[in-house]
Amino acid sequence: MPHPLVGKPAPSISLPDANGETFTLTPGANGVPVALFFYPKSGSWGCTKEACQFRDNIAEKDVYKSSGLSVIGISPDSVEKQKVFVEKQKLTYPVLSDTSGEARKAYHVGKGLLGLADSARVTFFIDSKGVVRDSLDSTLNYGSHSKFVTKWLDKINTEEKRAAEPAPASETSADAPTTDAPTTDTVPAAEERE
């Protein structure tokens, strides 16, 4: 069953970042796609691997660079813990603190690991118009989230290339003469040939 936000405008959120400053996400406002990923706990093994995969993809993958993708991570950790996490892992994108759970509620993200973790691991791909195109909910498979975003970026690139291609020439109507067939003006009448 698809996530309830798929195909709908993504909610706007405002949360403190790792420096304690308010970061506001208004999907579609900048005209770039967004990879918004919720994760259980900053500094844990799987969450660190996931965050670093996004960091590395931003630096290394052309499709991330050319799309202008905005990557944003969110967990229930405090601003102080986010700051340590961002600095230690040299993360190059905003990591937000959702201690109150308001962003998780807005995006319908529940608890993870059968309720043992405060947040599930869910990634949303939001297109440049601010519409949630898809989501991936996989708490244990941390490695699948950056791959999920890469596949969506490839799909968006393909869609944009197709949209930019010239439309095929329209077929001639059945009533209009074609240049292949002679018209009655160019074919002499039988009496004129005698």
CATH class label, 8-164: alpha beta
pLDDT tens digits along 150-179: 999 999 888 888 888 887 766 544 554 454
> Is residue 186 pLDDT above 80, yes or no?
no
- Are the CB atoms for 165 and 76 separated by under 8 Å? no
At position 6, the amino acid (one-letter code) is V
> For residue 142, how many other CB atoms are within 10 A of its CB?
21
Catalytic residues: 47
Q: Give percent above pLDDT 70 in the chain.
A: 80
Residue 131: CB partners within 8 Å, gap ≥ 6?
7, 8, 9, 10, 27, 28
> Is residue 193 pLDDT above 60, yes or no?
no
∠188-192-194 over CA atoms, to 5°? 120
How much is the mean pLDDT over the chain? 84
Among 140, 145, 120, residue whose Cα is nearest residue 46: 140
Domain assignments of the chain as residue spans, ordered by start? 8-164
Distance between CA 147 and CA 164 in Å, rounded? 26
pLDDT tens digits along 46-90: 899 999 999 999 999 999 998 999 999 999 999 999 999 999 999
pTM of the prediction? 0.80
∠84-89-91 over CA atoms, to 5°? 95
